[in-house]
């Protein structure tokens, strides 16, 4: 075994799948601050742990009757979507630039969005499910975001920027997979910032070690309002990814019109969200920030960086980790430091063999800025089992 979990010094309710000496001091302080919250039952730290705004990325927080909106973060419901195709490496051309540009023409990236709400004819039956319910409940959200409905509609089925991506990958059997990473776009950010601001004004949060960890308490109007908006944003994020994957699948079908492309069962998982789950025989609010649910049999996706591969995993239902696993490789240096450390030539070298952008605009996403995905997955061998290893051959970034 790998010796994990280990206990964080000075935090008896905190177990980690990472060595303390490997974690930057800022992140360790964040973890200790979280562990001291009055409502905390336990904190679990994943091997991709790193410093984040509010709470540490790679943390699983179990609280009684309380939720911290900053711990969830501003990209509510961010997560992964993936599917295996019937294509193999032999079906692909040597040059994949046309495939990448077709995907980019079907799915807006960066600050771009659709000209109008994505038409239902472009969505699968799975994606259409409950779409009306999502938009019918929009006016129930905090009035501060009501003016964002048009933008939220046009951003449905769009990628965004930063660490969000769309990839075409090959597994060990040379089968082609599609995979993407995105969240609730601007509407999720605005919902989060509105409620984080409210939480910081509440009197029960005055003495906390970090105002960013301010919480809402169960049974209060503020908690009810946040849970309503949070649930809506989590649903929006899931549907955003589903619409995007439909568009990517269509791009692949159109790029290979004679191949009769078919698709397997889709895998979908949030990694910035709140769920009510039973922990140690008691109902708790579980916040996973940069972590996925890994209940027994749950399929998940743990991506690396844009040139190092990703994993399809199946959860083992670990009680110790609150049935959780990491959400990715995790950064080992900030975006600013990555830009100062690496050059475009480094990016070209580290993404060799991957059809992708290779310019300064994505330099902060260079593989060298991330932890080793193989080591991260090995550290959680008692949390998940590996189903497949995927190596990227196309990577679309915003």
Tens digits of pLDDT across the chain (398 residues): 589 999 999 998 999 999 999 999 999 999 999 999 999 999 999 999 999 988 999 999 999 999 999 999 999 999 999 999 999 999 999 999 999 999 999 999 999 999 988 755 566 655 665 688 899 999 999 999 999 999 999 999 999 999 999 999 999 999 999 999 999 999 999 999 999 999 999 999 999 999 999 999 999 999 999 999 999 999 999 999 999 999 999 999 999 999 999 999 999 999 999 999 999 999 999 999 999 999 999 999 999 999 899 999 999 999 999 999 999 999 999 999 999 999 999 999 999 999 999 999 999 999 999 999 999 999 999 999 999 999 999 999 98
* Positive or negative torsion for Cα 23, 25, 27, 33: positive
119 within domain boundaries: yes
353 within domain boundaries: no
327 is catalytic: yes
127 within domain boundaries: yes
Phi, psi of 204 (to 5 degrees): -70, -10
Alpha helices (runs of H) in the chain, residue ranges in sequence order: 25-35, 69-72, 97-106, 125-128, 131-136, 149-155, 185-199, 221-255, 335-341, 344-350, 373-379
108 within domain boundaries: yes
193 within domain boundaries: yes
380 within domain boundaries: no
Q: Domain count of the chain?
A: 1
Judge if the upstream peptide bond of residue 5 is cis by omega within 30 degrees of 0.
yes
Phi, psi of 246 (to 5 degrees): -60, -45
Give the domain CATH number at 102: 3.90.1860.10
Catalytic residue among 50, 195, 270, 327: 327
50 annotated as ligand-binding: no
* Distance from C-alpha of 93 to C-alpha of 115, rounded to nearest angstrom: 31
317 within domain boundaries: no
303 annotated as ligand-binding: yes
3-class secondary-structure state, position 250 = helix
Distance in Å from the first CA to the final CA of the chain = 39
Residues 6+ apart with CB under 8 A from 37: 63, 66, 68, 208, 213, 215
Phi, psi of 116 (to 5 degrees): -150, 175
Domain enclosing residue 265, as ranges: 6-292
255 annotated as ligand-binding: no
């Amino acid at each position: 075994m790998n010796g994990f979990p280990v206990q964080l010094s000075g935090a008896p309710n905190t177990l980690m799948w990472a060595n303390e000496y490997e974690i930057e001091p800022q992140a360790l302080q964040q973890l200790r601050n979280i562990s001291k919250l009055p409502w905390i039952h336990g904190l679990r730290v994943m091997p991709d742990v790193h410093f984040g705004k509010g709470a540490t990325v790679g943390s699983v927080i179990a609280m009684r009757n309380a939720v911290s909106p900053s711990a969830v973060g501003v990209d509510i419901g961010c997560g992964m979507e993936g599917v295996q195709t019937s294509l193999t490496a032999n079906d692909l051309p040597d040059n994949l630039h046309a495939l990448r540009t077709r995907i980019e023409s079907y799915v807006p990236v960066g600050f771009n969005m659709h000209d109008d709400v994505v038409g239902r004819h472009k969505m699968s039956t799975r994606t259409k499910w409950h779409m009306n319910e999502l938009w019918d409940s929009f006016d129930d959200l905090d009035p501060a975001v009501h003016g964002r409905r048009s933008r939220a509609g046009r951003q449905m089925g769009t990628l965004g920027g930063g660490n969000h991506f769309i990839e075409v990958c090959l597994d060990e059997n040379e089968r082609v997979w599609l995979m993407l990473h995105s969240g609730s776009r601007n509407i999720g950010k605005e919902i989060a910032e509105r409620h984080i601001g409210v939480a910081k004004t509440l009197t029960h949060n005055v003495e906390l070690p970090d105002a960013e960890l301010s919480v809402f308490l169960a049974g209060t109007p503020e908690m009810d309002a946040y849970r309503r908006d949070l649930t809506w944003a989590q649903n929006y994020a899931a549907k955003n990814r589903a619409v995007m994957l439909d568009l990517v699948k269509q791009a692949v079908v159109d790029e290979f019109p004679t191949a009769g492309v078919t698709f397997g069962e889709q895998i979908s998982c949030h990694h910035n969200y709140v769920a009510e789950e039973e922990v140690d025989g008691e109902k708790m609010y579980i916040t996973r920030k940069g972590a996925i649910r890994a209940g027994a049999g749950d399929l998940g996706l743990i991506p690396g960086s844009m040139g190092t591969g990703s994993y399809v995993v199946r959860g083992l239902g670990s009680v110790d980790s609150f049935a959780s696993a990491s959400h990715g490789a995790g950064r080992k240096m900030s975006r600013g430091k990555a830009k100062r450390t690496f050059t475009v030539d480094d990016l070209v070298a580290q993404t060799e063999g991957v059809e992708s952008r290779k310019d300064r605009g994505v330099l902060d996403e260079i593989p060298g800025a991330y932890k080793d995905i193989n080591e991260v997955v090995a550290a959680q061998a008692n949390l998940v089992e590996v189903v497949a290893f995927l190596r990227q051959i196309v990577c679309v970034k915003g």
